[in-house]
């Protein structure tokens, strides 16, 4: 299998995973730890304000883009690989009355369809880890930011080699497959011309998300036991085991969630 083909498969494979109804029910519409509260924090820390043009790289269904437009009055362009997510993002912006402040476009983070120095700021949440060529994505983000433009990332991180059973976890948090140490993301971003880094450990947001998923799985089990929920062929035991394993890895510090802020030189 060629590298190009496998990268494309990986990107679209992830897109399908996040698109599934089961994942939506468990994670809600903000597909990242910390939800919109962490998005708001990211917006504050990169100093968003009215009149700014912000790029949301891998914007999913547009919940963060819509939230930033509502909260800061900035114009947000969401870029997303999965065309169906773009349709959902348009619908959400329409429903929330911020269509005038938002634009959504299908595309690849590794080849952004925008001119040089278009944006004042960029964010990317729970997605950088999923890009097969992170250096290229970082260079692309730097290219489309104006000089001095701010970047805010939040992402899955791993610390040191992971235990072997992490492989089973891949089916649960698909993007962990490409995650690395926060320091490696910083190095990649430095290589693309970013400076003035702020790094925050947001592991507790990831632990809260996993705890919430475990609570929902327990609720589903009780409802199924009372005959009030048909689980079909969903393997609840496997889901519970993976969630427990995930919580253990986070508590041990093997897997985390990190906020990184920097600016283009
Ligand atoms: C965990 S979701 C996060 C979505 C959104 N940032 C959020 O926090 O709600 C990861 C997203 O990255 C998108 N994605 C993966 N690879 C991509 C790429 N190379 N370019 C653009 N989007 C990509 C997926 O389709 C998916 O919507």
Alpha carbon of 211 to ligand 1 centroid (Å): 23
pLDDT value of position 1: 34
Q: Count the neighbouring beta carbons within 10 Å of the beta carbon of residue 236.
A: 13
Structure tokens at 185: 């993301």
pLDDT value of position 7: 59
Q: Tell me how far apart the alpha carbons of residues 213 and 173 are, in angstroms, rounded to a whole number.
A: 12
Check if 80 has its Cβ closer than 6 Å to any atom of ligand 1: yes
Check if 60 has its Cβ closer than 6 Å to any atom of ligand 1: yes
Residue 141 lies in a domain: yes
Residue 66 lies in a domain: yes
Q: Which residues contact 139 (CB under 8 A, 6 or more apart)?
A: 192, 193
Give kind and range of the element (H or E) at residue 15: helix 3-19
Residue 124 phi/psi, 5-degree rounding, is: -155, 120
Question: Residue 46 sits in a domain of what CATH number?
Answer: 3.40.50.150
* Nearest atom within ligand 1 for CA of residue 15: 25
pLDDT value of position 13: 47
pLDDT value of position 166: 58
* Nearest atom within ligand 1 for CA of residue 108: 20
pLDDT value of position 48: 98
Which parts of 46-125 fold into alpha helices (H)? 63-72, 83-95
Q: Residue 262: beta bridge partners?
A: 151
Q: Name the 3-class secondary structure at 224.
A: helix
Whether this prediction's pTM lies above 0.75 is answered by yes
Q: Name the 3-class secondary structure at 223.
A: helix
Residue 74 lies in a domain: yes
CA distances from 129 to 115, 138, 261 (A): 24, 11, 15
Q: How many CA atoms lie within 13 A of 252 on its CB side?
A: 15
Check if 82 has its Cβ closer than 6 Å to any atom of ligand 1: yes
Q: Which range of residues forms the domain containing residue 100?
A: 3-20+28-158+170-203+254-264
Residue 210 lies in a domain: no
Residue 49 lies in a domain: yes
Kindly report, residue by residue over 126-155, the tens digit of the pLDDT: 999 989 999 999 999 999 999 999 999 999
Intervals of the chain under pLDDT 50: 1-5, 13, 171
Number of domains in the chain: 1
* Of 62, 68, 67, 110, residue with least CA distance to 89: 62
pLDDT value of position 3: 44
Residue 234 lies in a domain: no
Kindly report, residue by residue over 7-33, the tens digit of the pLDDT: 565 555 455 555 556 656 666 655 789
Residue 112 lies in a domain: yes
Check if 155 has its Cβ closer than 6 Å to any atom of ligand 1: no
């Amino acid at each position: 299998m060629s590298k190009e083909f496998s990268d494309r498969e990986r990107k679209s494979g992830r897109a399908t995973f996040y698109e599934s109804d089961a994942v939506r029910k468990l994670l809600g519409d903000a597909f990242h730890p910390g939800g919109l509260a962490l998005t708001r924090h990211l917006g504050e820390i990169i100093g968003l304000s009215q009149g700014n043009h912000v790029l949301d790289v891998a914007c999913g269904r547009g919940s963060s883009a819509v939230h930033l437009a509502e909260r800061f009055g900035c114009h947000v362009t969401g870029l997303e690989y999965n065309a169906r997510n773009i349709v959902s993002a348009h619908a959400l912006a329409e429903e929330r009355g911020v269509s005038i402040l938002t634009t959504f476009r299908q595309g690849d983070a590794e080849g952004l369809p925008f001119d040089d120095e278009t944006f004042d700021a960029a964010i990317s949440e729970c997605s950088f880890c999923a890009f097969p060529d992170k250096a290229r994505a970082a260079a692309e983000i730097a290219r489309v930011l104006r000089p001095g433009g701010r970047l805010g990332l939040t992402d899955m991180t791993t610390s040191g080699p992971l235990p072997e059973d992490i492989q089973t976890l891949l089916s649960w948090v698909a993007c962990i497959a490409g995650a690395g140490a926060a320091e490696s993301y910083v190095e990649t971003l430095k290589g693309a011309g970013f400076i003035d880094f702020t790094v925050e450990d947001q592991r507790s947001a990831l632990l809260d998300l996993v705890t919430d998923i475990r609570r929902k799985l327990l609720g589903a089990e009780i409802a199924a036991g009372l005959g009030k929920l048909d689980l079909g062929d969903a393997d609840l035991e496997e889901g519970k085991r993976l969630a427990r394993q995930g919580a253990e890895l986070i508590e041990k510090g093997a897997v985390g969630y990190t906020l990184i802020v920097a600016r283009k030189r």
